[in-house]
Amino acid sequence: MVSLQEMNSGLISLLSDAAFEDPWSSFFMDVLSRLNFVKISQVRMQGLLLLVFAKYQHLPYIQIISTRSTPTGLYGYWGNKGGVNICLKLYGYYVSIVNCHLPPHMSNNDQRLEHFDRILESQTFEGNNIPNILDHDLILWFGDMNFRIEDFGLLFVQECVAKQYYHELWKKDQLYIAKRHDPLLREFQEGALLFPPTYKFDRHSNNYDTSEKKRKPAWTDRILWRLKRQPQASPLASSLPTSYFSLTLKSYISHMSYSISDHKPVTGTFELELNPLMSVPLVTMMPEYLWTMENDMLISYTSTPEFLSSPWDWIGLYKVGMRHINDYVSYVWVGDNQVSFSNNPNQVYISISDVPETEDQFLLCYYSNNLHSVVGISQPFKALGSDGVRVTMENALTARDRVGVQDFVLLENFTSEAAFIENLRRRFRENLIYTYIGPVLVSVNPYRDLQIYSRQHMERYRGVSFYEVPPHLFAVADTVYRALRTERRDQAVMISGESGAGKTEATKRLLQFYAETCPAPERGGAVRDRLLQSNPVLEAFGNAKTLRNDNSSRFGKYMDVQFDFKGAPVGGHILSYLLEKSRVVHQNHGERNFHIFYQLLEGGEEEALRRLGLERNPQSYLYLVKGQCAKVSSINDKSDWKVVRKALSVIDFTEDEVEDLLSIVASVLHLGNIHFAADEDSNAQVTTENQLKYLTRLLGVEGTTLREALTHRKIIAKGEELLSPLNLEQAAYARDALAKAVYSRTFTWLVTKINRSLASKDAESPSWRSTTVLGLLDIYGFEVFQHNSFEQFCINYCNEKLQQLFIELTLKSEQEEYEAEGIAWEPVQYFNNKIICDLVEEKFKGIISILDEECLRPGEATDLTFLEKLEDTIKHHPHFLTHKLADQKTRKSLGRGEFRLLHYAGEVTYSVTGFLDKNNDLLFRNLKEIMCSSKNPIMCQCFDRNELSDKKRPETVATQFKTSLLQLVEILKSKEPAYIRCIKPNDAKQPGRFDEVLIRHQVKYLGLMENLRVRRAGFAYRRKYEAFLQRYKSLCPETWPTWAGQPQDGVAVLVRHLGYKPEEYKMGRTKIFIRFPKTLFATEDSLEVRRQSLAICIQSWWRGTLGRRKAAKRKWAAQTIRRLIRGFILRHSPRCPENAFFLDHVRTSFLLNLRKQLPRNVLDTSWPTPPPALREASELLRELCMKNMVWKYCRSISPEWKQQLQQKAVASEIFKGKKDNYPQSVPRLFISTRLGTEEISPRVLQALGSEPIQYAVPVVKYDRKGYKPRSRQLLLTPSAVVIVEDAKVKQRIDYTNLTGISVSSLSDSLFVLHVQREDNKQKGDVVLQSDHVIETLTKTALSADRVNNININQGSITFAGGPGRDGIIDFTSGSELLITKAKNGHLAVVSGTCWPGSKVEPLRIKPSFEYVSVPFPLLPAHEGWRGASWAPMVAIKEL
């Protein structure tokens, strides 16, 4: 984003919004377009200009919602330059970019900031469901934000600047001051102000201008930002994408040497990290489907279900390096040139007559008119003028001269290694990294992201025949998966290649494909997530940077993925092979230790590192500095640490287990820093006490015991334990052996832990027998280094076994296919490397047996004695050679401590140095003992105490590896294999570089030429009859356009017409077999010629069809407009044929619009004005709508709320407009009772017996004679009103004797209960006062069924004071309530004034109740109000 403030106002008049007439856009795009940036939006107002650029890859994920400019500022608080704003939606997040002044020079700071929130909210964009700007995920605010700084002297300024005390100057900045008072302003962040404010006076001169204007600071541009507070993740929404949006300021620089007017510009550089809420574009362009005919190009695209297309959408053809969305070479309106009307994919054609004959790359962009944004973009491809568009992934053989063949079996000279490599080179040059050798996939690492692994690519290869689409990893993945489901046979994918060839990446892409395309298991996707998240954990602990690869797997891995009968992944299991544990203690120059060490140091929290005793600098640890390569530019250890921590939680690691695991990792680093010194007897002593303390705490062992174990060796001789001191060299060996043992066993424990997580935990889940298994083998490739040792020997032995299996299974599958099709099988001559495997693994005579024998024999055994034993035992083997056995010429290249094996891939020379030590892998007994006593839960599982009591010597490393490898071979033999051979194009890891010497070496040791020779020994090409006939039927008049008979008969007719010779093909049971590639190529060339002629015919027919459709559409449009105009003219006339169409249109439009404008609730009185013809219908619809809303509302009312509304309705019916203090009671809820059971005397409750108390309230009773007030309690039971004094029932008035209730019309709280005078039990009427008079009388009236017997009197109330004597109560208005006995003997009541604005207790209504503040007409009440659907509405209006 670039925010500019232009000085020259004369220049502004020359500018326009056009992309190429804007000098600023041109200036920036001259630089940025070369970096693949595109200008996506701009907005200008007077001197302000805001530009937004983005790389074209991001265009489908950026939606420009709106732009806005404010000429005179917001609320008058901005400067005269106004402000500009761009609101965009970035990967689903709302971002507002604002450039403005905040605020101008004003003396009153409070006045300037009091409307800060209103200033922001005025930037809210209307429509499109855009949230308020304060709810946007990010607000970026550029502009002049240096508030007027308080006045201070020149010397103070000079002193602060000279000593760089800038914070002292900024403390007087009013923006700094305002943040302390304005909470919204405090939410805005700013970078550290490491530069001074700018001033109009010369800070370096002592001549201080004291004028008001000169001594004030000038404007300083500032950058503020505000991030929306992230919501806490809900445990109930774990399956939804997690919202994560983080902005980090990387640099904040003031350019003091530049000036715009009196402004000093600043530059802010930010790093944005987000979890995309939108990961798939709305439209996916698929240039791989392109094909051309003369000057037209066919384009296929798919769209998501939520995408709403428009007739004005268009697709543009752009050069890579486009400057603006209008910078197209050619374009097409999608609605006009539509070819296919199916849902997906859609197809259109575009003119390419303007495309120049250039090697430049091109893009296709889909522009949505509704969203005003690019919603789809293709991968780059090349166009070659009139030859048509040749895209990066072909689906035909016609381009073979330029991009090679997609199956090596189709090479004419298949025995030539040069032809093989040249085909690889051609495809690699066109970014075609995948090629087949029959069913085998050859992959070349491109060392860059080719954007060919998206969800759309997965869908393209899903469920498609293997050869119907270009070669791809996903094609192999889908074929294996479909075979697993349909044939119910276990499958295995074997991925091999040397370090850096892309094996690990291929494994991850396969798992990604299955995770995305396989059906989700019924019990959630936890297993699927664990399968994916196991990769980063294993990579952290088992991968390292080597000279050949920055993420090299230093162990072999075989993963079984278990699928249920529906094809959903439900479990998994991992086997690991030969971890390179020597890397823990030693790395070659330019290499690193395992990733986890650097990730922990770089990404670990400060508290965690402090607890582990670590510091962030890797140079502080001996085990991390030997390679002198702690920092690597291509590796982000901090980011990788976050991934690993998240993955550990996904695969069921508890916090305690993570802590224990990290303690072990830290202990290895501390172990490397243990140093020794020799005492006077040359015995080793530990000198680093601090490291020892950390080790004892992290490993949970005794310090003294650990010290002794590191400097002594325990020997058991004749049943006695002896401690032998170690010298410096032996102590260092013991320390390193312990470090290797701790790390390697922890790695084994980690794999076991992951397997427990991947295993199905559900007892109801299917067993392994009822499911199928897909195996993924990611194992080290053949290794030939300048110095090859024991590890390379084991790795190359592994590759020999796998090559042997590969050839056997390939020949077996070929033979089975020939026999199934009824074609004679001819034996194939090939190199059988069983002789080499036997040389290594044969019992008693093999190299491993001899190595083990030398390790176990008594006496002094060394690496050289092992070599001598080899020379004596296998000296006559043709594939074995040493310096002693070689001739004079060969000895020059072979050292005395080396032997050479002739592998299937070539000769490899091994140095025997270290063979015995690495094979023994010796760990002193006392070191084992102390690790078995560890209190670290993981360590005590890694070191089993049974090892100490087991008298049997443990198997050597080579024997263990041999046993596990033989088990792996048996596993692979039990499955149907698929192969992926990975090739590294160069050692420098550079994209586009093809090292022929290196690739020739890999082609050789991967056995690709041998595999191709086996595959081509018979027939080069084979296809199902249906597929062959469908592709080539247009070449024969008898089979075109359809063939009615059997496919096999149709193919027979077709090949006869094409002139195939009998020796060129064979007809099998379901397939045709073609022996020579040239036969297929000739057929393909004929098809290309035929396709051009067919395309011209189809094109002319289709254009004619489109023309007729357009003409019919224009004719229909003209007739429709004519009918509307004629109807509009006659709209006031009676209905007739001339105006019927218009009147129907008006009615239809009204009804359609009415659907969108219906009232939202029963208090909403809005209703659109109907046309005259629909007035009656409109009133009926309005009445029905209101009844429906009322019915819905009444259905939603709870019983408690219904009772409340009924009581309020009764109160309204009785008191509304009749009693002055009634409005005060409306906001208050009626309470079920005002007195609890504990407030009523138990004697009263006993006197009432079984009668329940329905309502109780404290009242004041006035005597009938002297009107003396007395406190009482009024109780309502189902049958009577009871008046209670303390523990005594003073009076009981049965409802049958209650003749009426009187109350005044004023705001007093007195009322009179009238009783029958004939009732001798009653002393007369009762005069009472209640603070809740409306509530009390309403409940009394309902309980006694006296709703119609409440009298509201004006002036006075007469009541029976006793037998033959009446009393009178006089009511008058006054300023406050006063009740006294008047001189005339009456009770005088002066009611207090009920002020409209007096505070009352608010009525707390449920949040869903939204009908309070909108007026609603009072519905008429009648006697049947109880239970009537309209009754609550009366109360609603009052509420």
Is 499 catalytic? The answer is yes
Spatial CB neighbours of 982, under 8 Å, sequence gap ≥ 6: 443, 444, 445, 495, 496, 497, 498, 501, 502, 503, 506, 781
Question: SS3 of 1182, please?
Answer: helix
76 annotated to a ligand binding site: no
Cα–Cα distance, 624 to 163 (Å, whole number): 41
Tokens of 1260: 């004041």
Tokens of 1393: 């004034």
Question: SS3 of 269, please?
Answer: strand
φ, ψ of residue 521 to 5 degrees: the values are -65, 155
Q: How many residues does the chain have?
A: 1439
Q: Considering the candidates 781, 1050, 1127, 1324, report the single residue annotated as catalytic.
A: 781
Q: Considering the candidates 268, 376, 388, 500, report the single residue annotated as catalytic.
A: 500
Cα–Cα distance, 175 to 177 (Å, whole number): 5
Q: Which residue in this structure is represented by tokens 């020059």?
A: 892
Using a CB cutoff of 8 Å and minimum separation of 24, what contacts does 176-179 make? 177/109, 177/147, 178/109, 178/113, 178/147
Is 781 catalytic? The answer is yes
Is 964 catalytic? The answer is no
Q: Considering the candidates 392, 496, 549, 1330, report the single residue annotated as catalytic.
A: 549
Give the ranges where 126-269 is alpha helix by DSSP (H): 154-162, 166-170, 174-179, 183-186
Give the ranges where 892-1043 is alpha helix by DSSP (H): 915-920, 925-932, 937-942, 946-949, 957-973, 996-1005, 1008-1016, 1025-1032
φ, ψ of residue 319 to 5 degrees: the values are -80, 145
Cα–Cα distance, 1175 to 1101 (Å, whole number): 52
Q: Considering the candidates 41, 99, 496, 504, report the single residue annotated as catalytic.
A: 504
503 annotated to a ligand binding site: yes
Cα–Cα distance, 969 to 967 (Å, whole number): 5
C-alpha distances out from residue 68 to 9, 11, 43, 139, 213, Å: 20, 21, 7, 15, 33
Is 412 catalytic? The answer is no
| Region of residue 305 (phi > 0: left; psi between -120 and 50: alpha; otherwise: beta) | alpha
Is 552 catalytic? The answer is yes
Query: Residue 774 belongs to what H/E stretch?
Result: strand 772-778
Rg of the chain in Å (alpha carbons): 45
Is 1391 catalytic? The answer is no
- Pairing state between β 244-254 and 266-275: antiparallel
Tokens of 930: 């102390």
Is 615 catalytic? The answer is no
Task: Enumerate the β-bridge partners of residue 1261.
Answer: 1270, 1328
Is 517 catalytic? The answer is no
1053: closest CA among 1027, 1068, 1035? Answer: 1035
DSSP one-letter string for 416-462: -HHHHHHHHHHHHHTT--EEEETTEEEEE--SS--S--SHHHHHHHT
C-alpha distances out from residue 564 to 41, 488, 718, Å: 50, 10, 58
Distance of CA 350 to the CA centre of its chain: 35
504 annotated to a ligand binding site: yes
Spatial CB neighbours of 954, under 8 Å, sequence gap ≥ 6: 947
Q: Considering the candidates 499, 696, 746, 1277, report the single residue annotated as catalytic.
A: 499
Cα–Cα distance, 1201 to 270 (Å, whole number): 54
Cα–Cα distance, 161 to 150 (Å, whole number): 16
Q: Could you tell me if 82 and 100 are in contact, meaning their C-beta atoms sit under 8 angstroms apart?
A: yes
403: closest CA among 394, 413, 415, 414? Answer: 394
DSSP one-letter string for 343-404: SSSEEEEEE-TT--EEEEEEEEEEEETTTTEEEEEPPPEEEEGGG-EE-SS-SSSTTHHHH-
499 annotated to a ligand binding site: yes
Q: Considering the candidates 783, 791, 814, 1010, report the single residue annotated as catalytic.
A: 783
Distance of CA 107 to the CA centre of its chain: 49
The sign of the CA dihedral 468, 474, 479, 481 is negative
Which amino acid is residue 590, in one-letter code?
Answer: G
Burial zone of 470 (CB within 10 Å; 0-12 exposed, 13-18 middle, 19+ buried): buried
Q: What residues are designated binding site? A: 497-504
Q: Which residues are annotated as catalytic? A: 499-500, 504, 549, 552-553, 781, 783
Binding site listing for ATP: 497-504
